[in-house]
Structure 1
Amino acid sequence: MHPTVGTEHALDEEIVGVVVFDVQDAGGHGRRKSTKACSIAAVGRCPVGQRDGFSTLPPVDLRCPTSRRCVRWCVLACAGGLATWSAPVQAEPRSDRTAAGTDARAASREDSVATVLRIERIEVVGRETVALDRIERVLEDAGLRPGAALELPGDRRIRIARARLAETGYFRRVTLRLRPGSAPDRVVLVVDVEERLSVSVTRVHAASSKFTPFHGGLTVVERNFLGRGVWLGGGFVWGTLPRIPKARRQQAYRVFAEAPRLPGAPLGVLGSLYLVSASEPYRVAGPADDPSPSSFSTFDYDRIGASVGLSFPVVVGFDLGVEYRFERIDATLPTDPVWTRPDGTVEPVDLRMRDGPHRHTVLQVSLTWDGRSEAYRHGKGGRIAMDLHVGSPGLGSNYEYLRFVAGGGYTFRLPWRHWVTPSITAGQIVGTAPRFEFFYAGDLSDWTPGREEGLLYSTRGPIDVFGTGIDERTFGNIFGVLDVEYVWPVFRRRRTRWIYGGDLFLSIGTFTLAGDREQRAADRAAGRPVAPFGLRANFGLRLDTPLGVMDLSVGNVLRRMPL
């Protein structure tokens, strides 16, 4: 089954412990090796048809002195998917049943104490394109290297290493197991992986609206370029002519690359190039909730820019990112744009954009804590992210503003192996930011088209379920989102090529959007809600495929239809 943690989506795998016995045969002449395997689910569950724990062990006659001296490895405990081996039995033989029973109970008490074994070497099995040093760095960061001591049963570093390898996204399955080494206190750590397709489709644009008859595009990422763990990708979106006179086609293109960790340094680098050609709609007539294209006009602008950034791991689980984005904007604004209301009132329209060619630069600082890997061990895990954008003439920008967004969520595993994740996100803009930096209502609603590569292909507002006037809001300076998601793992298929697993999910929540100080004062004076709120809700099936996660949901359909 597939426990989804947050919006992000990792399918859990079993950890396999291999139990090796080296005993004499029945006649006492020579040795035979018996291998048993057990599957211990990483989140504390058993797959269908399996149970936690080992099968019945091969019989060993403790009354026989020859058999007792020849027991090489005896597994008496298994925790966390790892097998624990004891040292060879050296006790003197006894001839009575009481002595045999006493010895067995004593051995059980001794092996209940943690056993310390040292890793003799590490073997990686199943690797094809992922660089070996990439896997070794993950293991080393978790404290697993040749010579390291393991306390068995239940050394938490094994679980940490496995979770981090799974989080890289390179592997469909990750299995860690131990087998005996060259000495009684030595073991070989075997890392058995099954690689998944490193190319994924992260976003698909295909929709229709009353404003734009059709637009489409996609974003593709190669997460392991040349086997070095480098991310390389690109995306585009292209639309037909809007149903507004003098409007032009909207299109955007972007390429990006990222090295999450440089060799020999706890440092990551990233960069991108992009081009945006927009024909942005703005209201000139009709009521505020009317999505008809006849109530809108457009103005054109082009953006071309690039970004460079660095990322640093502060402590375990915490990452600090710094990015600098610079772009040239060329906008053609109408002269004195106004909105004529149905009652004849004329209001000036602030397009939140400078006319002509100008510069826009941003320094972005982000801090992220991701503890969702804890869900593999404890059935719970959280994530917190904070993002600060600073635009200033001191950075070479013609805009001066601060944009801050913070959010967090926590995932709980329920006793019946379902998952629930409450989350909250909020943000605010202070200053004179460009139009495309403001919070957009469509980005907050599950049922309304949002921005795609920074472009608006629809004039439809959120559905006003509560009658608060949220459908009259387009942009805002302040927003808030509260959401709860329930995930039901439905199936997990290991032997199919195109579908790995699927989850049913149900989410419900609310969101709000408010303007700047002047707009809030005007809303109060007119008796309108300052911060109207709307409903967020979605239901569907998530499929994990070699090309990424496919979302088959009600909201996904509603966003793509020309309602």
Structure 2
Amino acid sequence: MQLQLKKARAQLEPGEPGRISTRVNRQVWTVVALALLCWGSFAPSLAAQDTHEEQQGPRLPDPVYILERVELVGEFSTSKDLIHETLALELGQEVNVSILTQAQLRLLATGFFRTAQFGLEPGSERGNVIVRVVLEERNTILLSDLFLGTSQRSDFWGGLDVLDSNIFGIGHTARAAFVTSGDEFAFEVSYVDPTIFASPVSMGFTAHFSRGGEQAFPVVAADLNTPSSFEVDVLRAGGRLSNGLFILPQLGLFLDLRVEGLKSDSPFDDLLESQLQPGTSWLSTAALAVELDTRDDPVMPRNGVRLNLSAEGAHPSVVGDYQYLRLLGQLNFATEFLPGHILRLDLVGGTIIGEAPFFERFFVGDFNDLLPSRNLGLNFASRPAADFFNTGTDQLGYENNILRASAEYAIPLTEGIDWVYRSEFFLGGGLYAATTSDADAARVILGVEPMPGPRDPFPFDLTINLGLRVETSIGIFGLSFANGLALVPL
């Protein structure tokens, strides 16, 4: 079973190209509050500068000044060039409260600073001002995930996923993750430049290496010597190049190119011929995605919508031995329908056309909160789903088609307490359904130990979870019902 800081769903999964998720806490709601508070710091300075105008006549509601220079104050490691680039204030331009407030919001939206207080001082000439920005930097090194669990198949597995969203102080994101259990392990490193040459184009890469296995359970014995189960060992090594173009701040197009070398070892290759090529093979894919994201936070949103549509395909005429098309759509909606009461709705649907390797398919543990999900592409457990409705979900493993609809109700508990940004209680549940081709289902089931009994053409089941989430300066921690199940080695 599995115990995690949070039920991670890799945001750079196959078929979901785009920005490598930094999982940085984009506190837009905090930004708005700070902007309102900073209005009070602007007003006295502006009033002091406009004393002469008040004596001569009515004071303008939003006076305009000439920017003489910008002074940055405080201890921070972020590059001054990056800060000035984000502020987007040119010397000699006209500025007022509205322009400076927008600059402050842009600076706080990077997630690099806890506070950014603006003030005005008289310039060397009448009508000129000096903008003084006092910065308090926040921690950008985050514990993105903790992998920890036990099961009947694996006595123990563990690992970490750590990232720095402002490495070297230049606004780039670097990530390193690993997980291990006995002879099985996986390792990933990522690096992203979100704004190449101050443009709306992002570029990044991910390198992946893993050595793991899956339990295979033949549905019909190939011969009298076929065991009830056998191990499939897979070695994977490769990389992914990710490119993004942000048409608008909340709308992006993404293109991913990936190449992987595979080496498999199985005593019954004929049973796996539609799910994995025997021996050494190559997998190369191209993926295209479009994403609209208006949420105020990527993990604990209060308001907003996220829509992601992606397509990833492989063809042997390029470089590789596989031919398939993977389509995936995700819709996430959040609203604070009453003060302190948040409703989140999620809809996910996907299909695979062709013969994709099994690890590219939709794994039941990634969609059922009551089952351990994969860690960096490795599955360390083989427990089947509960099958509450007796439709055959306890026979699902890696499938070609998936559909999930869920809802979550959350109540914020605390906000802004020192290093704890906020916490919430949540209660969620939903339905999911999955299936695969009859040919695959009739030969072998990978990843879970299937239970005997009939299986509907499109089995569906219930997923539920409840617990606490706490967003801190080093990451998001969770304690939930699903985590509690992870303490039992089933």
What is the TM-score with the length of structure 2 in the denominator?
0.80
Q: Which structure ranks higher in relative contact order (CA pairs < 8 Å, sequence separation ≥ 6)?
A: 2
Of 231, 234, 237, which residue of structure 1 is paired with 2:176? 234
C-alpha displacement of 1:147: 4.5
Equivalent residue in structure 2 for 1:158, among 68, 91, 101: 101
Deviation of 1:411 after TM superposition, in Å, equals 2.3
Question: Hey, what does 2:266 align to over in structure 1?
Answer: 333
1:135-534 equivalence runs, <5 A: 135-140=83-88, 144-150=89-95, 152=97, 155=98, 158-159=101-102, 161-171=103-113, 173-182=114-123, 187-240=129-182, 249-284=183-218, 295-335=228-268, 352-373=275-296, 380-496=303-419, 499-516=420-437, 528-534=455-461
Question: 1:280-303 deviations in whole A, cap 9, x for unaligned?
Answer: 1111379xxxxxxx9532111211
**Structure with the greater alpha carbon radius of gyration:** 1
Whether the 8 Å CA contact 1:174–1:191 is kept in 2: the answer is no
Q: Distance in 2 between matches of 1:374 and 1:202?
A: 15
- Kindly state the Cα deviation for residue 165 of structure 1 after the two structures are TM-superposed: 3.6
Distance in 1, Cα, partners of 2:35 & 2:80: 27
Aligned 8 A contact 2:289 2:311 in 1: yes
Kept in 1, the 8 Å contact 2:400–2:434? The answer is yes
Distance across 2 between alignment mates of 1:126 and 1:469: 61
Tell me the distance in 2 between the aligned counterparts of 1:43 and 1:411: 23
Q: Provide the C-alpha distance between the structure 2 equivalents of 1:87 and 1:558, rounded to a whole number of angstroms.
A: 70
| Matched-pair contact (CA < 8 Å) for 2:27–2:111 | no
Structure 2 CA distance for aligned equivalents of residues 493 and 264 of structure 1 = 32
Report the Cα distance in structure 2 between the residues aligned to 1:331 and 1:374, rounded to whole angstroms: 40
| Offset, 1:329 | 0.8
TM-fit CA distance, 1:424: 1.5
> How far apart, in 2, do the equivalents of 1:85 and 1:466 lie?
72
Establish whether residue 551 from structure 1 lines up as the match of residue 478 from structure 2: yes
Matched, 1:41 2:15: no
What TM-score do the two structures reach when normalised by structure 1? 0.70
Q: Which moved more, 1:209-218 or 1:129-138?
A: 129-138
How many equivalent pairs are there? Answer: 450
Unaligned runs of 5+ in 2: 1-8, 12-22, 221-226, 444-452
SS in 1 for 2:317: helix
Counterpart-to-counterpart distance in 1, 2:297 and 2:63? 24
Mapped partners of 1:356, 1:129: distance in 2: 49
Matched, 1:537 2:464: yes
Cα deviation code 1:69-102 (max 9, x no counterpart): xxx9549xxxxxxxx978722358xxxxxxxxxx
Question: CA 1:165/1:281 → structure 2, altered by over 3 Å: closer, same or farther?
Answer: farther
Judge conservation of contact 2:76–2:135 (CA < 8 Å) in 1.
no
Q: CA deviation at 1:458?
A: 0.6
Judge conservation of contact 2:108–2:116 (CA < 8 Å) in 1. no
Matches of 2:170 and 2:250, distance apart in 1: 22
User: What are the equivalent positions in structure 2 for 1:21-36 lying under 5 Å apart?
Assistant: none
Q: Matches of 1:174 and 1:127 in 2, distance apart?
A: 12
Checking the alignment, whether the CA contact within 8 Å between 2:179 and 2:187 is kept in structure 1 is yes
* Partner Cα distance (1:464, 1:439) in 2: 17
Q: Following TM superposition, by how much is the alpha carbon of 1:312 offset from its aligned partner in structure 2, in angstroms?
A: 2.1
Shift in Å, 1:139: 2.5
When residues 528 and 209 of structure 1 are mapped into structure 2, their CA distance, relative to the original with a 3 A threshold, is closer
2:256, 2:380 → 1: CA distance? 28
Instruction: Please say if 1:125 is aligned against 2:73.
Output: yes
TM superposition shift of 1:408: 2.1
Paired residues of 1:73 and 1:87 also in contact (CA < 8 A): no
Structure 1 gap ranges (5+): 1-5, 16-39, 47-51, 59-71, 76-83, 93-106, 241-248, 287-293, 338-347
